[in-house]
Amino acid sequence: MTVSKRICKRAFAGAVAYLALAGAAFSQSSEVRIEPGAPIVIGGYWVLSGGDAALGNDQKRGVELAIKDLNGTILNHPVRLLAEDSQCSAEGGQTAATKLASNPAVVGVIGPSCSSEATAAAPILWNAGLVSIGTSATAPSLTAPDRKADYKGFLRTVFSDADQGPADAKWIHDGLKAKTVVTIHDGSPYTQQLTAEMAKTFTGLGGKIASQEAVAPTDVDMRPLLARIATEKPDAVYVPIFVPATAQILKQAKQTPGLEKVAFIGGGGTMSPDIMDAAGDAVIGFYGAFPDVTPEAQGKDYPKLLQNYQDEYGEAPTSGFVANAYDALTLLRMALEKSAKTEADGTVVVDKKALHDALFTIKFSGMSGDISCTADGQCSAFKPGIYQYQSADRSSFAIGTNPKKIYP
Amino acid sequence: MSETSLITAAPGASARKRINGIDIFMWVLRCAVAAIALFGTVATLLEGRYSLAQWFDFAMFGLTLGSVYALIALGYTMVYGVLRMINFAHGDITMTGAFAGYFVATGASRSGLLAAHPILAILAIFTIAMVTCIAVALATERFAYRPFRNSPGQAPLICAIGVSFVLEQTVRGMFGSGVKSYPVTPWQDAVVTPLGMRIPVINLFVMGCAISAMVILYLIVHRTRMGMAMRAVSEDKAAASLMGVDVDRVVVFAFALGGAMAGVASVCYALIYQQVHFFMGFAPGIKAFGAAVLGGIGSIPGAMVGGMFLGLIEAVGPALFLDGLGITAPYQLRDAIGFLVLLMVLIFRPQGLFGEAMAKKRA
């Protein structure tokens, strides 16, 4: 009894000490002092393991290449990148952010890859005074005008999905010259918001939305729905949903009288070779509305970055987000140079609040295009693109050639 | 349910009051649903958005989908009729057949056999799919169900759910999680137009398959010695065993028949929807189970009618009931409508459309 009591007491004392320490770590000062010779520590968090690891690795390497191009120094101090694996999940983001936030040496954070990570992590980092710059997290809410105060420290050098729907509407109206359009979503928030945004803009441009339909992602029998759509005689069908349902719609539309020649426009959910397997030859002629990620849409130095990447890692990047990550580091570097104070002995003092404010004043032409932040933290413009599938041969899949970029 | 329970209920005042409350609620519910459906139907028809030919198209889509449900439902019913056990893995057994058929079909398509000798190729696809389904069904029965056949409680049911996961994940592990496209032949797009109505040949083919499968099963169960043994085991396992019926053999036969139905269903499904996917068996499996219950589980014509009915409601229901009510995106609610109708039927007839004789026997 007494022994267990004593253990309890000790455990309690330990817990109090731990909490005190943790509290001390979190309630850290508003500035970071970097003594001469000590490194400037920049945090990073991306998905570095699991199925999406390629996505996060590209971005981590983009930051590494940017640091290398600075000869590894900012303000005459060596730069150290402290990268955490946040696994493309809210839990992973939370863990990574907690680790980075408790490290008093970190001046700012770059990442993440996924919006779920950012949603969980950005408030934790900002509550510790740390800014974070997203490199491929594109959910509209992260930089929406009505975002919570917790997210004030989050910026991103990548586009927002909020611009996808309006951009699609513009192309369908001006590029495709469609007058009457039917939209189809699959009940998920992403597709529902996308179709609603597109419909709103399209109506505003003077087009007619004949109806806004929906399917379940697991539906296989689309014929009744397509027969219904055929009665509305649309010029185009906007269907930014995922592979299985899209494939069924494309196949069965070919057998529906009145829809054989109608244009079908998909979204990011079908920008993968899986749609070719699933839809077979019905994929030919199918449009994909997706941000322009081809090399020519990036900044003028992008080819050099690709070459450096190839030289450094012996392979090509799997996505264009490497440029966005490179620009995130450039943005942070420029803000540091603008806001940090160097004392006589070479000690650099970074005021976190000043760093945050400085980020919003920076403008430059980066690897991914022009970077300039709005008050909501949106630093990169949306570059719309329209692609069209040319063949159903899986091995020919390459965004830009098949599906071929037809706009701009 | 309510009529009989009212008559047989104890005449205690409190009991009568409670039953009356439920009774009134049920009637209000029925009337409300019927009124909404009627109002929607009238409004849709007055709107005149769809032509007669389009209504006919809807009905054809429904009957085709219903035929696939019916074929799968026949498999549920065969096993249930004999073992009183719900083979929840049946949908996934169908999926294994679809994959087997897919590999034969792609092979035949690449070698040109599918185009040159379509009948031969289709026969080969059917045979391989049926053999695969029968093999999987029998293996399932031997290793997953037989050890638990006499154990009390829900062990066989849980086992069936387990088998369902095992089959899905095995196929996913072996062939990947992507959706695969079934090869198409030109005759699949052929259309006949009697009396100006447009009927794809493939729909007629699938309906023909379903109806012949039902007739064959019915004849087997009611006209052969094995069928008699099946009915005997269904009635009383112990007594049948005492009369010299080999129960294991009968059960194996029932599973083999169920597997064969799954094989036919899988090829029909793939011919119409032209996709195979490791998870494809789940949704039709649930729907077909609903169809079997709707028709009266254990009844062969019941499974057929239940399947056709559910398919028809799913295809026609959203346009017929909801369009007139001004509900947007009515096809999103097709499952809700299908299962609501199923629920309504079961409220009126808990034993299902054709389940009366069975229900009485078992009571």
* Residue A231 contacts B, CB cutoff 8 Å: yes
In sequence order, the 6+-apart residues with CB closer than 8 A to the CB of B54 are: A227, A231
Cβ of A224 within 8 Å of Cβ of B50? The answer is: no
Are the C-beta atoms of A128 and A151 separated by less than 8 Å? no
| CATH number of the domain located at residue range(s) A163-290+385-407 in this protein | 3.40.50.2300
- Number of residues in chain B: 363
Residue-range domains of chain B with CATH: 49-362 (1.10.3470)
CA distance, residue B29 to nearest chain A CA (Å): 27
Cβ atoms within 10 Å, residue A89? 16
What pairing do the DSSP bridges indicate for beta strands A404-407 and A180-185? unpaired
Are B54 and A227 contacting, i.e. CB atoms less than 8 angstroms apart? yes
Q: What is the DSSP string of B273-310?
A: H-EE-TTTTHHHHHHHHHHHHHH-TT-HHHHHHHHHHH
Kindly give the pairing relationship between strand A263-266 and strand A236-238: parallel
List, as ranges, residues 257-316 from A with C-beta within 8 Å of B: 257, 274, 277-280
Residue A103, pLDDT > 90, answer: yes
Count CA atoms closer than 13 A to A186's CA, side-chain side.
Answer: 22
CA atoms within 13 A on the CB side of A114: 24
- Which of helix, strand or coil describes residue A40? strand
- The secondary structure of residue A300, as a DSSP letter, is T
Query: Quick one: pLDDT band at residue A15, thresholds 50, 70, 90?
Result: low
How far is Cα A161 from Cα A364, in angstroms, rounded to an integer?
A: 22
Smallest Cβ distance to A231: which of B54, B200, B318? B54
CA B169-B264-B56 angle, to 5 degrees, is: 110
Binary contact (A277, B180; C-beta < 8 A): yes
- Cα gap A224→B315, rounded to integer Å: 6
Q: Are A220 and B329 inside 8 Å of each other by CB?
A: no
Angle at A92 between CA A90 and CA A96, to 5 degrees: 120
At the topology level of CATH, where does A31-159+297-372 sit?
A: Rossmann fold (3.40.50)
**CA A155 vs CA A139, A309, A336, A337, B309: distances in Å:** 12, 25, 15, 18, 55
Assess whether the region A31-159+297-372 and the region A163-290+385-407 belong to the same CATH fold. yes
HSE at residue B177, side-chain half, CA atoms within 13 A, is 2
Contacts of A395 (CB under 8 A, 6+ apart): none
Q: What value does the CA radius of gyration of chain A take, rounded to a whole number of Å? A: 25
Domain residue ranges in chain A: 31-159+297-372, 163-290+385-407
Cα A345 to the center of its chain, rounded Å: 41
The torsion angle over the Cα atoms of residues A321, A322, A327 and A332, rounded to 10 degrees, is 100
Cβ contacts of B332 on chain A, cutoff 8 Å: 187, 213-216
Distance from CA of A254 to the nearest CA of B (A): 10
- Cβ-Cβ contacts under 8 Å between A and B: the total is 86
Cβ pair B217, B78 in contact under 8 A: yes
Note down pLDDT in tens along chain B; length 363 residues: 344 443 444 444 455 555 678 888 888 888 888 888 888 888 888 887 888 888 888 898 899 999 999 999 999 988 888 888 888 899 999 999 999 999 999 998 888 888 888 889 889 999 999 999 999 999 999 998 888 887 777 888 888 899 999 999 999 889 887 788 888 777 777 888 777 777 888 889 999 999 999 999 999 988 999 888 988 888 888 898 898 888 889 999 999 999 999 999 999 999 888 888 888 898 889 899 999 988 888 888 999 999 999 999 998 888 888 887 878 778 888 888 888 888 888 877 888 888 754 444 443
| Closest CB from A211, A227, A279 relative to B181 | A279
